[in-house]
Chain A
Amino acid sequence: MFYIVVGLFSGIMGGMGIGGGTILIPALIIFTTLNQQQSQGLNLLCFIPAAIVAFITHLKGGNIETKFCIPLIIAGLLGAFLGANMAIRISSDLLRRLFGIFLFLMALYEFFYKGKK
């Protein structure tokens, strides 16, 4: 039940476009015994079904700029490969601290976000 509620809250945040992962990962770390890598892995996995639905919806709506996608995806796949391999190799404690710093920067960004121009 706890996991369904955590999923519900992160889903609400994600649905509003604020980013569900930044709430799901810390919630799992603080309230469960999962380690940093397991929490991050769950967030990655849980993003996939929602993203497939969103992708199809946006594709039909013509909101995807395909000309920019190719260079971003190719370079991104290389980055994702390196990033994930780093994540599974470093200690859970170190990864948790690095994530904390990243979360801090994201929080500042959200706090000072100016909205649609």
Chain B
Amino acid sequence: MKKNILFRLILLGFFAGLVNGLFGSGGGTILVPGMFFLTDMGQHKSHATAISIILPLTILSTYIYMQNGDINWPIAIKIICGSVIGAYIGAKLLNHIPGKILRKSFALFMLIAAIRMVF
């Protein structure tokens, strides 16, 4: 690995970890395009590699939140049950729904929520 690339990877990892810890999300949204541009990895491998990186970072961040008493276990169990079923449905739907329309409507929801949260 070239020294230049290694330095950029370290910066990317640090930034993704910082955002993921601070906002409790978003590490993957930074890592996937970041790795895609810095390395010759394809889209599919970028997604898979991103998960293997965010997993240990998330465990560390969760532990820090937990120590601070910010984890509500009874609610977490309900959300996990729903999201496991949802993840299965989502993975199946992926091949049947045009991603482009879904992304744009989802982005609009995020924009409205973002404005509501700032003000």
User: Using a CB–CB distance below 8 Å, which chain A residues touch chain B?
Assistant: 3-27, 29-30, 34, 37-52, 54-55, 58-59, 61, 63-65, 67-69, 71-88, 95-104, 106-111, 113, 115-117
Inter-subunit contact A26/B55 (CB<8 Å): no
Distance of B108 from chain A, by nearest CB (Å): 8
Inter-subunit contact A21/B26 (CB<8 Å): yes
**In the complex, number of A-B residue pairs with CB atoms less than 8 Å apart:** 342
Selected from B48, B62, B72, B115, the residue in CB contact (under 8 A) with A48 is B62
Q: Is the interface of B mostly helix, strand, loop or mixed?
A: helix
Q: Is the interface of A mostly helix, strand, loop or mixed?
A: helix
Inter-subunit contact B19/A83 (CB<8 Å): yes
Selected from A29, A43, A68, the residue in CB contact (under 8 A) with B39 is A68
Selected from B71, B93, B102, the residue in CB contact (under 8 A) with A45 is B71
